Structure 1
Amino acid sequence: MTDVMSTQGQFPGASGESERTRRLRGLGLNDPSADEAFDRFAHLAASITRAPIAMVNFINDERQMFRGLYIPPNPVDITAEDGPSWADRGIAFDLPSREMPLSHGFCPHVVAQRSPLALDDILAYPRFAGNPVVDELGVRAYLGAPLVDSTSTVIGTVCVLDREPRQWGRERLRDIQHLAEALLSEIRLRDNLMAQRQEMFAAFDGSPFPIMLTEGPGQEVRYANAQHADTFGAPVAYGTVGAAYPQLGAAGLGRAVLDAYHAGRTTVLDNVRIQSPRPDPQRGRQTFSFTCTPLRAALTGQINGVLTVGMDTTAQSRTEEELGTLAALLVDRLQQSGTSVPGRSAIIGEPGPVLPS
């Protein structure tokens, strides 16, 4: 199986990648996009610890990624008779994106030490007082616990912050540890779904047709089956179709994939002439047709990926209907497994049968 997520050593810059980053990539958590489930969990963490700011933070080799985030939505009048509550104290917390360098904050320390960290008043700790978040964001108190997955890899943290000194105490420390343990059930679910998807991809590797899966707004290549690798070679880099397969990108396949993603309907790219990357005189220059079929999340209906199936039409003519039927059969296999994207089910094209989540 040629799964882009599991062959890091083949690509530039992949050498030396940590097990933590590999785990995050495998779990589909290696980017800073918002995740509704983790956002709810961050809100729960803020509520239980009575802290105004909370995060579910995953950390790879390059950055911190706040997949879950809770910040009070609106400042309140602190002169009100009852005063502001823990959840709406007018926190002016300027966080322009859901990511942060490894040099900022205290979660990287939790990950490195594999143990909880409670800072009642950060300025009282010389080791931490000079951290950039103290001056830039006004953070004065921190409480965080590590997320240790089923492979004993620390993949991130659950943490809460305050802009005022706090006496967290043993009870709050115990709370944040219990929250981290509870969140691991969600991580295990995603891990199981990923295992099911890998099994499905292994089945796809038996297909005689090139198959590729792309995901996200940028439609980055996440999977290519064995026939795809045999026909077009291994991806030359992570990223979009054009970055991973320059010849396919130059032929317009990247545009076709994006058209399917944005339009929400199947697109077909015919008469694509490809020079085989293998020194095989019997192959030489081949002609392909590609069918790009969008995948939708079952609960929201939002398109989150595109399944692309290629067919060699060098020696014989294939109709768009035949290609569409083949793609539909493959997507149906994904639907039956419920694992087109980690943690999310998918349906094809326009409204149809929706999988249970």
Structure 2
Amino acid sequence: MTFPTGTPHPRTPQTELDAALRAFGLTGPEPELDAFAAQLAQEAGVPYAMVNIFGAQQQFFGLHTPGEDSELPTVGRAMPLDHGFCPEVVARKKALVLPDVFSSPRFAGNRVVDEIGIRTYAGVPLLHGDTVLGTLCFVGPVERSLSTGRDSLALIKRRGSDVMEFLYRRAGIQP
């Protein structure tokens, strides 16, 4: 789902999100979240993975990208709210797996398909109660067989739980 620039994003109200981010001590990129992203990318066999926090834009507090010698596009630590598939995950508060982005016309036209060459996606919301802190996702430039969807869903849900357990433990918050 893409959201036209200037359109309100269907997410947790900003004041609620800001309070939750403060409680978890999430202020910007973190080496521990980069490590979660790197491990997810390795397990998924893709070049990109992100721990994505939503505010005025998508911010990657955890990021794994291919090395400098790669021919794949570089991804920075921020992206507009109308790019990618994570806004759909935030709006739905549910995981989304797209083994082959082109198999769904609704998602095939997203800007990241052409700009970054994304062909496969899996993402899960990072939920604290009803508050969506952000998402954990992985993306890759090669489509996958639709039969891989269940394995990708299980992986992204498991790793999303791992990220939330880490955040709860670090902040001393009971889930």
d(CA) in 2 for partners of 1:35 and 1:119?
27
Please identify runs of 4+ aligned residues in structure 1 that moved more than 6 A: none
Q: 1:44 to 1:91 in 2, by over 3 A?
A: farther
Aligned to 2:133: 155
SS in 1 for 2:97: strand
Q: Which has the higher contact order (CA 8 A, sep 6+)?
A: 2
1:69 paired with 2:66, answer: no
d(CA) in 2 for partners of 1:94 and 1:185?
29
d(CA) in 1 for partners of 2:18 and 2:107?
25
Instruction: List gaps (5 residues or longer) in structure 2.
Output: 1-12
**Structure 1 residue 44, shift from structure 2 partner:** 0.8
Aligned to 1:52: 47
Does the 8 Å contact 1:71/1:91 carry over to 2? no
Residue by residue, what CA displacement relative to the aligned partner does 1:209-252 show, whole Å, maximum 9, x if unpaired? xxxxxxxxxxxxxxxxxxxxxxxxxxxxxxxxxxxxxxxxxxxx
Does the 8 Å contact 2:33/2:63 carry over to 1? yes
d(CA) in 2 for partners of 1:18 and 1:122?
33
SS in 2 for 1:160: strand
Residue by residue, what CA displacement relative to the aligned partner does 1:289-341 show, whole Å, maximum 9, x if unpaired? xxxxxxxxxxxxxxxxxxxxxxxxxxxxxxxxxxxxxxxxxxxxxxxxxxxxx
TM-score (norm 2): 0.82
Instruction: List gaps (5 residues or longer) in structure 1.
Output: 1-15, 76-89, 194-357
Does the 8 Å contact 1:57/1:66 carry over to 2? yes
**Structure 1 residue 160, shift from structure 2 partner:** 0.5
Give the number of equivalent residue pairs: 159
d(CA) in 2 for partners of 1:132 and 1:21?
27
Quick one: percent identity of the two aligned structures? 38
Aligned amino acid, residue 155 of structure 2: D
SS in 2 for 1:143: strand
- Among 130, 136, 141, which residue is 2:115 paired with? 136
- Among 10, 17, 39, which residue is 1:20 paired with? 17
Aligned amino acid, residue 108 of structure 2: A
d(CA) in 1 for partners of 2:41 and 2:153?
13
Higher Cα Rg, which structure: 1
Two-structure CA RMSD over aligned residues (Å): 1.9
TM-score (norm 1): 0.42
Residue by residue, what CA displacement relative to the aligned partner does 1:188-214 show, whole Å, maximum 9, x if unpaired? 124328xxxxxxxxxxxxxxxxxxxxx
**Structure 1 residue 104, shift from structure 2 partner:** 0.5
SS in 2 for 1:22: helix
